[in-house]
Amino acid sequence: MEFETKAIHVGQEPDPTTGATITPIYQTSTYTQESLGKHKGYEYSRTGNPTRTALEAALAALEGGKYGLCFASGLAATSTVLCLLKAGDEIVAGNDLYGGTIRLFNRVFSNFNIKTTYVDGRDSKNFEAQITSKTKLIWLETPTNPMLRLSDIKEVSQIAKKRNILLAVDNTFASPFFQKPLDLGTDIVVHSTTKYLGGHSDVIGGAVIVNDKKLHEQIKFYQNAVGATPGAFDSWLVLRGIKTLAVRMRKHAENAQKIAEFLEKHPKIKKVNYPGLKSHPQHELAKKQMSGFGGMISFEINGGKDLAKKIVESTKLFALAESLGGVESLIGHPDTMTHVGVPKEQKDKLGITDNLIRISVGIEDVNDLINDLKQALGN
Ligand code: P1T
C-alpha cells in the first residue's frame, strides 16, 4: 500500500460496532467489563483508547514502522523516551534542536543526573568523538530547528549500532512524507504531531514510532506509567490531519522552494537556510535522504533586532506566532521566541542571532505569500 492510501486507511477500517466510516471519537475514560478481568481490550483510556489506537497504527504505517505510540505533546513523547535512561547515563545530541527540547535536557533531565553533550550534527564523526561508556542515546533533529541543518541519519545510525547505543531522530520538520528515519537505521522516531501531522494548528500532540518489539514494550510501559497520553478528541484531530498529509506536504514544499529562491535574491537578505536550495551546503545529503525539502525556511537579514522586529510585525498573511506545520503561514524570531530558553553561548555558536527570522510556509497561494514578504521587507 502506498503512502497516500495508508494515511487514509491504516487503522481506520469502518468501526466494528456501528460501521461508522470515520473512526469515532471514543470520548470515554473507562470501559465496562463483562465480568472481572473480561473485556474487549480496553480498561482505562490512559492505557489505551480506540481512537488513539487508530492513530498509533496509522502513524506507524506512515513511518514504515511496526509500532506507534501517541502522547499529549511532542515534549511528552521526548520525555517518555528519556525514561529509558537511568541516572548516570549520557546523551549525545545534535546542538541545533527545538529550544524546548534543549530546555528539557538541560533543566529537567540533568536534575536526574542524565547529562547531555551537544555536537555539531553536520559531521557524523562529532557524535562518535563524544561517545563515552555512559552514552546510551544519540538524539538528533534533521533538518534542524531553526537552522535547517542536516545530519546523515544512515552514518549516525551505523555509529550508534556499532556501540549498541540507541538513536532517536525527531522527524517533525520533514514529516514521514519526506523522510523515513527507520529505513535509514534509526531506532526511535519522535514527532511533535502538533506540526505537519496535525497540520491545522488546532491540536498539541506527540508520537514515537519504533520497529523493535522490546523497545515498543518498554516505551509503552512508560507511556502508561508516566501518563502523558493524548485525549480521544486530540487523537482524532491528528488522525483527520494525516489523511491530507501528502497533498499538504507537496504544496508546503513547492511554496517554500519558490519563497526560498525569492528571499535568496532579495537585497535585504544576507543568507537563506533551506535544504532545497542549491546553495545549501548539504543539498546533496538532503537529496539523498529526503524525498522533498519541507516547508520551513530561516533567513538572516542585513540588519539587527530592530529591523527583524519590524519585518515580523509587518507581515499580514504570515502570522507572528510560535509553532509550524499548519496550512497557514507563520513567521517568528527564534532568538526571542522558540529558542529563548537556549543558553546564549549555544545560540551564538549556532547562528541563532537577533537578525534570524524563521518562517513556516503554509499552503496559501505562493504569489500572495511572496507579495506579503515583499511588503514586509520594504520591497
Ligand atoms: O510543542 P510540542 O508538541 O511539545 O513539540 C515540541 C517540539 C519537538 N520537536 C520539534 C522539532 C519541534 O519543533 C517542537 C515544537 N516546536 C515549536 C513549538 C516551534 O515553534 O518550533
Distance 174 CA to ligand 1 centre (A): 13
Distance 114 CA to ligand 1 centre (A): 21
In whole angstroms, what is the distance from residue 82 CA to residue 19 CA? Answer: 39
204 Cβ inside 6 Å of ligand 1 = yes
Q: Pick the atom of ligand 1 nearest to 172's CA.
A: 11
Out of 139, 192, 203, mutate this one to test ligand 1's pocket (max ligand atoms within 8 Å of CB): namely: 192
Q: Whose CA is closest to 209, among 179, 244, 249?
A: 179
pLDDT of residue 341: 87
Q: Pick the atom of ligand 1 nearest to 205's CA.
A: 3
Q: Whose CA is closest to 26, among 233, 227, 198?
A: 233
297 Cβ inside 6 Å of ligand 1 = no
In whole angstroms, what is the distance from residue 357 CA to residue 335 CA? Answer: 9
Say which of 67, 98, 196, 274 is annotated catalytic. 98
Distance 366 CA to ligand 1 centre (A): 25
In whole angstroms, what is the distance from residue 311 CA to residue 110 CA? Answer: 37
- Tell me the whole-structure pTM to 2 decimals: 0.98
* Cis ω before 146 (30° cut-off from 0): yes
pLDDT of residue 4: 98
147 Cβ inside 6 Å of ligand 1 = no
Letter for the amino acid at 90? E
pLDDT of residue 57: 98
Residue 169 is classified by DSSP as E
Please list the ranges in the chain whose pLDDT falls under 70.
379
Q: Whose CA is nearest to atom 13 of ligand 1?
A: 98
User: pLDDT tens across 81-132, in order?
Assistant: 999 999 999 999 999 999 999 999 999 999 999 999 999 999 999 999 999 9
194 Cβ inside 6 Å of ligand 1 = yes
90 Cβ inside 6 Å of ligand 1 = no
In whole angstroms, what is the distance from residue 325 CA to residue 66 CA? Answer: 25
Out of 75, 98, 191, 208, mutate this one to test ligand 1's pocket (max ligand atoms within 8 Å of CB): namely: 98
User: pLDDT tens across 186-244, in order?
Assistant: 999 999 999 999 999 999 999 999 999 999 999 999 999 999 999 999 999 999 999 99
Say which of 6, 52, 122, 195 is annotated catalytic. 195
Whether 298 contacts 148, CB under 8 Å: yes
Say which of 15, 31, 42, 46 is annotated catalytic. 46
Q: Pick the atom of ligand 1 nearest to 204's CA.
A: 3
Sign of CA dihedral 50, 55, 61, 66: negative
101 Cβ inside 6 Å of ligand 1 = yes
H/E stretch holding 181 reads: none
198 Cβ inside 6 Å of ligand 1 = no
Residue-by-residue DSSP string for 15-72: PTTT--SSPP----SB---SBTTB-SS-SBTTT--HHHHHHHHHHHHHTT-SEEEEES
Is 195 a residue of the active site? yes
* Contacting residues for 370 by C-beta, under 8 A, at least 6 apart: 258, 259, 262
pLDDT of residue 141: 98
Distance 6 CA to ligand 1 centre (A): 25
Whether 229 contacts 42, CB under 8 Å: no
Structural domains for the chain: 3-242 (3.40.640.10), 246-377 (3.90.1150.10)
Which three cell numbers, joined as nine digits, stand for 318?
Answer: 504570515
